[in-house]
């Protein structure tokens, strides 16, 4: 079957129109992605992917250059006051300098972290919107080609994934990261870093929740593949045998049905792969921005750890860690989609 014929038969054009209505999908053609995956040609996508990474790095570097210079200057000034505090008659001037510089750094950190948090929340909402548009069509194709039970079973898991992204990642974990930043700033002010152990526990708890969500989704998807696909396979074999038993036209009809279902499975896989690539390209630019923000804080704190104030360096390092946790949260949101599509495709490829 021709690609255009299959594309129209499964009403995928409606999916493309719905995707085009999403505000974040400008410049990305779902049609072209499907055509490339159907034709088994990924060169165009690979070139576009590399170009987007390059453009995102260059653009973000230009935006962050002034922030980097400001942070380095503040850290050097603070280090000078700290190292030459003995020339003052008392330490109050040095302490005042520390708190002034620390306040300036906090303002910079809050601004950068707020930007990263806003980008992360927007990206997760884009993922959620795309899931709401994509899943009904994708699992509708599975229901048509494989069986209603299989399509409905995986769609129920898909609904759970959507609510996980909306209520756990966006409504719970992102605000929890804001609270984590507040504790980071408090730890920088207190003597001897009294909250180090608490911050370590807080960070590990967030990462554990993310891993738990991914493990539960993967387990539910795999368990689902043991039930409904096999039931639909038995029903399909019954249909094949019934059609094959028709005198005269049975074998021809059964062969044509298998060809149609084979093409349908191919288009199902093409839709799934195209959906994953589309979402990856949508998330690429914001994820690169968040990654560069976190990397800059980590690199500066490592390079200036020999000369700058210890508390400021520790605070900056923990801010970089918090930004990386935003990136990890967004990555898990994307990974939930990819894992569900991958497990579904693998479980339904060999049904007929």
d(CA 151, CA 137): 10
Count of CA atoms in the C-beta half-sphere (13 A) of 29: 10
The closest alpha carbon to 161, from 220, 207, 108, 114, belongs to 220
Closest among 264, 272, 349, 337 to 37, alpha carbons compared: 272
> What is d(CA 36, CA 194) in angstroms, rounded to the nearest whole number?
55
pLDDT band at 290 (very low <50, low <70, confident <90, very high): very high
Confidence tier at 64 by pLDDT (50, 70, 90): confident
Most confident segment among 85-99, 149-163, 195-209, 304-318: 195-209
Q: For residue 239, what pLDDT is reported?
A: 52
Per-residue pLDDT tens for 139-186?
Answer: 877 777 666 666 677 777 888 888 888 889 999 999 999 999 999 988
Average the pLDDT over 256-282 and give the result. 74
pLDDT at 89: 56
Arithmetic mean of pLDDT, 2-8: 56
Read off the pLDDT band of 212 (50, 70, 90).
very high
Predicted pLDDT of residue 228: 62
pLDDT at 190 over 80: no
Predicted confidence band of residue 208 (pLDDT cuts 50, 70, 90): very high
Q: In this model, does residue 329 exceed pLDDT 80?
A: yes
Which of 68-82, 115-129, 222-236, 277-291 is predicted with the least confidence, judged by mean pLDDT? Answer: 222-236
Instruction: Write out the chain in H/E/C secondary structure.
Output: CCHHHHHHHCCHHHHHHHHHCCCCCCCCCHHHHHHHHHCCCCHHHHHHHHHHHHHHHHHHHHHHHHHHHHHHHHHHHHHHHHHCHHHCCCCHHHHHHHHHHHHHHHHHHHHHHHHHHHHHHHHHHHHHHHHHHHHHHHHHHHHHHCCHHHHHHHHHHHHHHHHHHHHHHHHHHHHHHHHHHHHHHHHHHCHHHCCHHHHHHHHHHHHHHHHHHHHHHHHHHHHHHCCHHHHHHHHHHHHHHHHHCCCCCHHHHHHHHHHHHHHHHHHHHHHHHHHHHHHHHHHHHHHHHHHHHHHHHHHHHHHCCCCCCHHHHHHHHHHHHHHHHHHHHHHHHHHHHHHHHHHHHHHHCCCC
Cβ of 51: how many Cβ atoms within 10 Å? 10
CA–CA distance, 7 with 13 (Å, rounded to integer)? 7
Please state, for a pLDDT cut of 70, what percent of the chain lies above it: 69
Region 21-46 average pLDDT: 64
Q: Which of 262, 35, 10 is nearest to 140 (CA)?
A: 10
Mean pLDDT of 27-35: 69
What is the C-alpha R_g of the chain? 27
> pLDDT (tens digit, 9 = 90+) per residue, 231-268?
655 555 555 555 555 555 555 555 555 655 666 677 77
Q: How confident is the model at residue 115 (pLDDT cuts 50, 70, 90)?
A: very high
Asked if residues 184 and 305 have their Cβ atoms less than 8 Å apart, the reply is: no
């Amino acid at each position: 079957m021709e690609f255009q014929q299959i594309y129209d038969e499964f009403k995928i054009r409606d999916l493309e129109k719905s995707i085009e209505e999403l505000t974040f999908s400008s410049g990305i053609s779902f049609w072209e992605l499907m055509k490339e995956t159907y034709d088994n040609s990924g060169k165009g996508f690979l070139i576009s992917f590399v170009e987007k990474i390059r453009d995102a790095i260059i653009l973000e570097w230009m935006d962050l250059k002034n922030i980097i210079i400001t942070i380095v200057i503040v850290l050097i000034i603070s280090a000078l006051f700290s190292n030459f505090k003995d020339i003052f008659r008392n330490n109050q001037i040095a302490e005042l300098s520390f708190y002034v510089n620390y306040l300036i750094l906090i303002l910079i950190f809050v601004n950068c972290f707020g930007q990263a948090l806003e980008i992360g929340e927007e990206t997760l909402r884009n993922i959620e919107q795309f899931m709401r548009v994509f899943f009904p069509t994708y699992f509708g194709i599975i229901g048509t080609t494989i069986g209603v039970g299989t399509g409905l079973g995986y769609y129920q898991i898909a609904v759970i994934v959507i609510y996980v992204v909306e209520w756990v990642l966006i409504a719970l974990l992102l605000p929890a990261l804001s609270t984590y930043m507040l504790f980071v700033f408090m730890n920088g002010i207190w003597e001897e870093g009294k909250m180090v152990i608490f911050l370590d526990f807080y960070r590990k708890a967030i990462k554990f929740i993310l891993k738990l969500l991914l493990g539960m989704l993967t387990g539910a998807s795999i368990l689902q593949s043991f039930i409904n696909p096999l039931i639909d396979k038995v029903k399909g074999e019954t249909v094949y045998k019934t059609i094959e038993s028709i005198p005269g036209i049975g074998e021809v009809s059964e062969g044509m049905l298998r060809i149609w279902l084979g093409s349908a499975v191919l288009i199902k896989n093409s839709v799934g792969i195209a959906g994953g690539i589309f979402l990856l390209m949508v998330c690429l630019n914001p994820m690169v921005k968040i990654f560069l923000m976190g990397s800059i804080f980590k690199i500066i704190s490592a390079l200036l750890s020999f000369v700058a104030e210890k508390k400021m360096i520790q605070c900056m390092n923990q801010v970089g860690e918090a930004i990386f946790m935003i990136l990890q949260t967004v990555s898990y949101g994307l990974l939930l989609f990819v894992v569900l599509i991958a497990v579904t495709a693998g479980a339904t490829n060999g049904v007929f």
